[in-house]
Amino acid sequence: MSKTLRLVLGDQLNSHHSWFKTVDDSVTYVMMEIRTETDYATHHIQKVVGFFSAMQEFAAELQLQKHQVIYMHLNDDNNLQSFEKNIRYLIEKEAFTLFEYQFPDEYRLDEQLKKLSQSLAIATSVCDSEHFMSSRDELGDFFQGKKTFLMESFYHMMRKKHHILMEGDKPLTGKWNYDGENRKKLPKDHKPTSPLVFQNKVTHIVSEIQKTDIQTIGNIDANNFVWPINRKQSLALLDFFVTECLALFGSYQDAMTPNEWSLYHARLSFSMNLKMISPLEVINRAILEWEKNPDTIAYHQLEGFVRQIIGWREYMRGIYWNKMPEYATMNYFNNGNPLPEWFWTGKTKMNCLKDAINQSLNYAYAHHIQRLMVTGNFALLAGIHPDEVDAWYLGIYIDAIEWVEITNTRGMSQFADGGIVGTKPYVSSAAYIDKMSHYCGSCFYKKAVKTGDKACPFNSLYWNFYDKNEDKLGKNPRIGMMYNVWRKMKPEDKVALLEQADYYLKNINNL
């Protein structure tokens, strides 16, 4: 009699996958909490707990539907703590005749499972995870022969292909992109909607983790775990987003303000990255809400949201599969400095960084502009080695899975890919952070001061970055204006700026 073993990875919790359409007694699903996954980076405690909780909920749901499931808990005696060992053990013990898995989204796991299935003595097969709206190779095929991979062109292709916000082959309203109408600072007296949070009790998982020597970072309230851990909660969060946040999503997408950790952001990346909900259903739900309420939800808010998901999210995945494994070693600026110690504690006098890091430690979340223009901006200006930057981002965020973390971090944020993802580095002085936030007013450092006592470190590090990298950036037409300003600066002002930057870099752990 044929017996099939199907592996479900922790980020493959797609209950709509065709695997689960029929209940078949000859098929057994296996899910495992293993040390190779908890230990490949130092993860935030909420990330480990979030994955394990969602996996346990998913396994229980499958069992309720009468599917056969083997679930290996972290401290189970028979858990051999690696995919390979556990699968070999199960195949032998239960005499499986076929091993199946879905394409993993991480290069590391893809290689591991490919190698494993080639070496097994039984038949094996692999299938799609049925989540994304583009295939692994689609971006590579679309840009074949091109030197640059422009997200905007990919986004237009995706809108046309899936017929989303289109009128025939033209964009609805005649315009593709409404970015110009978004990105405002939050008015001083504006109180954002309080985020919908869950009160999941996860004490059992936290105590299992505490029994091991797994290293984690960050904080958790195990009686009130705020993240969605199943499809039902993910759908509730989606509902909350479209009814309470979408109407101001685009407007305040780039805004930052102290003590407000989510503003009008969706916080759906965790649910989507684990595949508890699909990108298509997220977009369709947002479009439906806009169709029902065109007077309260302006089109530019909707378009901005749709672009993040069918544009940026799918684009980053395409870049990942097109450029791995080389991508993971790229270091265009040859940066080599270590990450400041306070990235792990939040203990810095720099208000913007203190807020973004403490929030990340408390919620395992920061929104895009905090990641890009506060922590990422600082890391690039300070010449931190991209490996260290990647390790931090991969560990600290609940939604961090390599395909979307590394492309955003090494690519978009650190420009370590030399311009595959971005056309110029995302760096700024204090002026941009002040323009988009309310951090600077109460900061120890002075936003308008460039040198001397209490000068904001972003200011001198910004010019130091351009000076140091002139050979690589000097001819970039998108930055030409900055080099004109730099070249026209008085020599003594330049020297003072570079000396200030040098001082800060030498004393980086005390900033």
To the nearest whole angstrom, how small is the minimum distance from the Cβ of residue 479 to ligand FAD?
19
Tell me which of 367, 385, 438, 450 binds ligand FAD, using CB under 6 A: 367
**C-beta closer to ligand SF4: residue 363 or 458:** 458
Q: Could you say whether residue 257 binds ligand SF4 (CB under 6 A)?
A: no
- Give the strands of the sheet with 68-72, arranged side by side: 68-72, 27-32, 4-7, 98-102, 123-127
Encoded tokens for 423: 């056309």
**C-beta closer to ligand FAD: residue 19 or 465:** 465
**C-beta closer to ligand SF4: residue 201 or 347:** 347
Q: Which residue has the tokens 């992109």?
A: 177
| Whether 321 contacts 105, CB under 8 Å | no
Contact region with ligand FAD (CB under 6 A), list: 48-56, 167-175, 289-297, 404-412: 404-412
**3-state secondary structure (DSSP) of residue 259:** coil
To the nearest whole angstrom, how small is the minimum distance from the Cβ of residue 375 to ligand SF4?
11
To the nearest whole angstrom, how small is the minimum distance from the Cβ of residue 199 to ligand FAD?
20
Q: How far apart are CA 352 and CA 200, in angstroms?
A: 30
To the nearest whole angstrom, how small is the minimum distance from the Cβ of residue 353 to ligand SF4?
7
**C-beta closer to ligand FAD: residue 117 or 182:** 182
Q: Report the partner that residue 273 touches, choosing among ligand FAD, ligand SF4, none (CB closer than 5 to 8 A by kind).
A: ligand FAD
Q: Could you say whether residue 433 binds ligand SF4 (CB under 6 A)?
A: yes
Strand partners, 68: 28
> Binding to ligand FAD (CB under 6 A): which residues in 7-46?
none
Write the DSSP string, 105-159: SSHHHHHHHHHHHHH-SSEEEEE--S--SS-TTHHHHHTTT-S---HHHHHHHHH
Encoded tokens for 484: 């004109």
Tell me which of 33, 355, 399, 417 binds ligand FAD, using CB under 6 A: 399
Q: CB neighbours of 96 closer than 8 A, spacing ≥ 6?
A: 3, 4, 5, 28, 90, 122
* Integer CA distances (angstroms), 342 to 347, 354, 356, 361, 439, in order: 5, 9, 12, 12, 18
Q: Could you say whether residue 445 binds ligand SF4 (CB under 6 A)?
A: yes
> Binding to ligand FAD (CB under 6 A): which residues in 406-425?
408-409, 412-413
**C-beta closer to ligand SF4: residue 172 or 511:** 511
In 3D space, the residue among 422, 423, 454, 449 whose CA is nearest the CA of residue 434 turns out to be 449
**C-beta closer to ligand SF4: residue 352 or 379:** 352
Tell me which of 164, 412, 430, 473 binds ligand SF4, using CB under 6 A: 430
Q: Could you say whether residue 458 binds ligand SF4 (CB under 6 A)?
A: yes
**ω before 325 within 30° of 0 (cis)?**
yes
**C-beta closer to ligand SF4: residue 303 or 434:** 434
Tell me which of 117, 134, 273, 459 binds ligand FAD, using CB under 6 A: 273
Q: How far apart are CA 22 and CA 154, in angstroms?
A: 36
Tell me which of 245, 316, 443, 501 binds ligand SF4, using CB under 6 A: 443
**C-beta closer to ligand SF4: residue 365 or 378:** 378
Q: Could you say whether residue 456 binds ligand FAD (CB under 6 A)?
A: no
Q: Report the partner that residue 99 touches, choosing among ligand FAD, ligand SF4, none (CB closer than 5 to 8 A by kind).
A: none
* Site residue total, ligand FAD (CB under 6 A): 27
Our CA angle for 126, 284, 169, nearest 5°, is 95
- Alpha-carbon Rg for the chain, nearest whole angstrom, is 24
> Binding to ligand SF4 (CB under 6 A): which residues in 334-393?
350-352
**C-beta closer to ligand SF4: residue 242 or 440:** 440
Write the DSSP string, 405-460: HHIIIIIIIT-TTSSSS-SS-----HHHHHHHBS-GGG-SSBTT--SSTTB-HHHH
Residue type, position 198, single letter: F
Q: Could you say whether residue 320 binds ligand FAD (CB under 6 A)?
A: no
Q: Report the partner that residue 376 touches, choosing among ligand SF4, ligand FAD, none (CB closer than 5 to 8 A by kind).
A: ligand FAD
Q: CB neighbours of 24 closer than 8 A, spacing ≥ 6?
A: 4
**C-beta closer to ligand SF4: residue 419 or 425:** 425
Residue type, position 190, single letter: H
| Whether 73 contacts 86, CB under 8 Å | no
Tell me which of 55, 206, 268, 508 binds ligand FAD, using CB under 6 A: 268
Using CA atoms in the order 306, 307, 309, 314, what is the torsion angle rounded to 10 degrees? 140
Within 10 angstroms of residue 55's Cβ, the number of other Cβ atoms is: 24
Q: Could you say whether residue 439 binds ligand SF4 (CB under 6 A)?
A: yes
Q: Report the partner that residue 409 touches, choosing among ligand FAD, ligand SF4, none (CB closer than 5 to 8 A by kind).
A: ligand FAD
Residue type, position 67, single letter: H
Residues of the shown chain interacting with ligand SF4 in the complex, contacts defined by CB under 6 A: 350-352, 430, 433-434, 439-440, 443, 445, 447, 456, 458
Residues of the shown chain interacting with ligand FAD in the complex, contacts defined by CB under 6 A: 265-269, 272-273, 308-309, 312-313, 316, 367-368, 371-372, 376, 393, 397, 399-400, 404-405, 408-409, 412-413
